[in-house]
Amino acid sequence: MQAKTVAAEPAAPEVQRVVPDWLQNPGEAEVALTEDSTQLGSCGICLEPLWNAEPSVFLVNLKRLCRHYFCRACAKRMLLEQTTLGIRPLQEEMQIGMLDGLSSVMDGAGRRVGDLVWSETGQRLCAGEMFLVLTQLQRLRHLEVGMEFRFKEGEALVIRRGVLLGCLLKGAWRTLKRMTHEEFLQEGLEDVAVTSRNIKDLRSKFIVYSGGEFSCWTCKRCSLENTSSDFKCKLCGGPPQRPEDVPEQNLPLDRFGAAALRSRFALRPQLHWAVPLQCPLCRNGGTASVTPMPNLREAPFDWFSLVDVAGAGKLTLYELAAGLATVLPLSSERLESELQHQFSGLQWPINYEQFAQQEGPAHWAMRQLEALHRHENGARR
């Protein structure tokens, strides 16, 4: 009687999720494999090496949208580009600043709520334009006791102890405006000084803009010097360039700051769930969300599941090499060759048990990573 061959059933998920001891403490390879940085697996958008850039993937119904990997920053940016609604006016107590390289609007607690965009076009401000906005807002100054008002040469001026501090602007809901001489007189500001008695009333209506229209940026196209109020070059129409140092802190908007921006800028809100998007490399599309690749040492089963693009429960040699290229500073081609050499007895595709077994591919990869860390630590010393 011929004996039956019983197929081994896959382990239950709760068993599969237990991290083997040899992955937690893998030891290390005798030699850390290295490769030219230009050959490494890279983000499909910014081309930066993936292995130390928080590699991420897009998911549709918990399955991979496509086989490509992206760095975390680019994946988030792609998602943000799609998660938008109609524009809305800026409000007091909002904050503006650069977040993940995007001109952003935050709520009072600093949580991102959308993009800062041009009201007319809905287009998000570039980094250079955002820098000009922040520069102008930082020149707004609240009235202080001891300031005096004068109207000279067509401007309502603010002076203290004989020193010119700037021009006086009147606040409205949608704008800050310069005053004519007639408006200046109607407000009763001629030769008025700010005192402890009138400061509250004056602060509710007026604010000081310090600094004039001095040169702020040079156009890279034509080298023309432009002022801080020019959001494109007056000669060639080129945009302001991204400055070397963009302020990292968000700038809160008070009622005057919000009013100064409302006439030209607005909030384009974002949503925070899966949105329709398309991979820029293979054009696969779907309602997708972004998720970072799990840590192979800490969550090998989750890592295996995300590398399994087809959801078949098995990895081809190509899939595993592409996945490990996000963990190790080696190209997928080099990894294919190494895996074939190290595990010539394996029949591809392999399941999770074969992948995570002692002396298996996951164990080998973790040893390589340990050797790499040892090499880096030795180089620092």
Q: What is the DSSP string of 219-282?
A: -TTT--EEETT-SS-TTT-PPPPPPSS---S-EE--HHHHHHHHTTEEEEEB--S-EEEE-TTT
Select from 253, 269, 285 the last residue of a domain.
269
Residue that is last in its domain, among 190, 209, 228: 209
As a whole number of angstroms, the distance between CA 175 and CA 284 comes to 45
327 and 373 within one domain: yes
Residue 279 lies in a domain: no
Task: Using the structure block, give the residue that is written with the tokens 């499909």.
Answer: 44
Whether residue 220 is found in the same domain as residue 194: no
Please check whether residues 313 and 362 belong to one and the same domain: yes
Say if 78 falls within a structural domain: no
Domain shared by 243 and 121, yes or no? yes
At 203 the pLDDT is 95
If asked whether residues 356 and 265 sit together in one domain, one would say no
pLDDT of the residue at 303: 95
Give the per-residue pLDDT at 15.
45
Q: Say yes or no: 119 and 258 in one domain.
A: yes
| Residue 186: predicted pLDDT | 94
Question: Which residues, given as ranges, of the chain have pLDDT below 70?
Answer: 1-17, 31, 80-86, 212-215, 245-247, 271-274, 375-381
Same domain, 119 and 155: no
pLDDT at 246: 65
* Residue 103 identity: S
Is the residue at 287 inside a domain? Answer: no
Q: Give the H/E segment covering residue 206.
A: strand 206-209
Q: Give the pLDDT of residue 53.
A: 84
**Whole-model pTM over 0.75:** no
Domain ranges, residue 314: 14-53+295-380
Residue 184 domain flag: yes
29 and 144 housed in the same domain: no
Same domain, 264 and 304: no
The SS3 of residue 257 is: helix
The pLDDT score that the predictor gives to residue 13 is: 45
Last residue in a domain, options 185, 209, 233: 209
Distance CA 360, CA 353 (A): 9
pLDDT score, position 301: 94
Q: What are phi and psi of 320, to 5 degrees?
A: -65, -40
Q: How far apart are CA 20 and CA 202, in angstroms?
A: 70
Query: How confident is the model at residue 325, as a pLDDT?
Result: 93
Residues 184 and 150 in one domain: yes
Identify the pLDDT of residue 22: 87
257 shares a domain with 197: no
* 178: in domain: yes
**Residue 328: inside a domain, yes or no?**
yes
Tokens 């809160």 correspond to: 252
Are 261 and 133 in the same domain?
A: yes
* Domain contains 106: yes
- Residue at 59 is within a domain: no
Which tokens sit at 152?
């000279």
Domain count, the chain: 3
